[in-house]
Amino acid sequence: MCLDEGYINGKDLQVHHIIPIRKNEDLILEDDNLITLCPMHHQLVEGGKKYISYLYRLAKTPPGI
């Protein structure tokens, strides 16, 4: 999300499950369901259904595109 907003942040990145584990345990280690986020963005999207399609798009877009 940081990169999508125009800046690079490589500090304190956290792994986020786009579809929460509690909703689908089968996706726990699926690469397509994981994205790294800074703590601020991680807190912002945690539990927010409105971010799911946005996060999937980001996770599938190679950096710099």
Give, for all 65 residues of the chain, the pLDDT tens digit: 999 999 888 889 999 999 999 999 999 999 999 999 999 999 999 978 899 999 999 998 887 65
- Residue 37 near residue 30, CB atoms below 8 Å: no
Contact 41, 56 (CB under 8 A): no
Q: What pLDDT sits at residue 58?
A: 93
- Tabulate helix, strand, coil % of the chain (nearest 5): 45, 10, 45
Q: Maximum CA pair distance of the chain? A: 33
Q: For residue 8, which of 34, 36, 29 has the smallest C-alpha distance?
A: 36
Please tell me the predicted confidence (pLDDT) of residue 65. 57
Distance, in Å, from the CA atom of 10 to the CA atom of 23, rounded to the nearest integer, reads 29
